[in-house]
Amino acid sequence: MLGKLLKYEIPAIGRKLLPLYGAWAAASIFLGIGLRGFDSESDLFSVLTILLYVAVTVAVIVMSVILIVQRYRNSMLGDEAYFNMVLPVSMNEHIANKGLSALIWMTVSTLASLVSIFLILLCSGSLFDVFPEFIKGIREIIAEVGAHWIIVLIELILLSILSSAKSILAIYAAITIGHQAKDHKTLASIGAYIALGMAESTVGNIFMRLGWMFNFGRFDNLIEFLSTHEFMTSQILMLVLFLVSIGLVAAYFFICKYFLEKKLNLA
């Protein structure tokens, strides 16, 4: 059933985000054209295109977060829940559906930001100056740090995806806990989010101290650590980070599941 849920969930968010991506692409093209004339007589146009680009970029980021929050609240705890929650679907599938679709759209938003940068460079005429420099820079980094660090880079990308999943589920857990309040559910959700964040940072501190004990270095200075330690040591650190992230994803998932299964009270 998860596939069927995703079939409807992904377009439900996309129908609102896709027009924003279109606006983002258009703003990128305008900015690229505007940058061509920067420092010349058309300065005002350039400044306007920069302002437009910043405004649209902020709108896309804010709307992405709002849509993900809204979709969860409305379809799991709001009016749409009266249909959604009577579907013959397990709670695991419901939560996985929301988490996966949000993760997919966050990844698409990240890719859209790369497309935006590409369009700016292309339209400003500097793509063919910047691109060879970019490739050269990448080659230099690989030559300096060694090709096996590419593995670390891939691991960092996977870790950031896992971290995004954790952030999404933390928001869902906070909304679900906040919904237990009789009144001021939004305020209660914000309070729950702060409390969960504090609990999470406490867990993080414990692992950081453990890291010190095992001489893995400080977890919050990852780049410095990776550049000064051996590859295998970095892999042990990565394993710990992966386990902590997976643990947090599981914890937030089960908070949502517990409250939705055992404490659901649709007003």
Partner 1 sequence: MARIEISELSKDFGSIMALDGVTLSLDKGCIVGLLGPNGSGKTTLIKILNGLLVPTSGTVEINGIEPGVETKKKVAYLPDRNALPDYMTSDQLVELYSDFFYDFDAAKAEAMIDDLGIDRNQVMQKMSKGTKEKLQLCLVMARQADVYLLDEPIGGVDPATRDYILKTIISNYNEDGIVIISTHLISDIESVLDNVIFLKEGRVVLEGAADDIREKEGKSIDELFREVFRC
Interface residues toward partner 1, by CB under 8 A: 1, 4, 7-8, 12, 15, 79-90, 182, 262-266
CB of 260 to partner 1, least distance (A): 10
Considering the complex, state which of residue 87 and residue 194 has its C-beta at the smaller distance from partner 1.
87
Q: Which residue lies nearer to partner 1 by CB, 232 or 262?
A: 262
- Beta carbon of residue 177, minimum distance to partner 1 (angstroms, whole number): 15
Residue 75: DSSP 8-state: I
Question: Least distance (Å) from partner 1 to the CB of residue 134?
Answer: 41
**Which two tokens mark 26?**
């258009």
Separation in Å, CA 194 to CA 58, 150, 155, 163, 187: 23, 36, 29, 17, 11
Q: Encoding tokens for residue 130? A: 């910047």
**From the CB of 112, what's the least distance to partner 1, in Å?**
22
| Closest listed residue to residue 114, CA positions, set 49, 28, 20 | 28
CB of 6 to partner 1, least distance (A): 11
Q: Which is nearer to partner 1, 27 or 77 (CB)?
A: 77
Q: Which is nearer to partner 1, 52 or 85 (CB)?
A: 85
As a whole number of angstroms, the distance between CA 13 and CA 60 comes to: 13
**Pick 7 or 139: Cβ nearer partner 1:** 7
Calculate helix-pair angle for 91-124, 43-72, nearest 10 degrees: 170
d(CA 238, CA 222): 10
Secondary structure of residue 148 in the 3-state scheme: coil
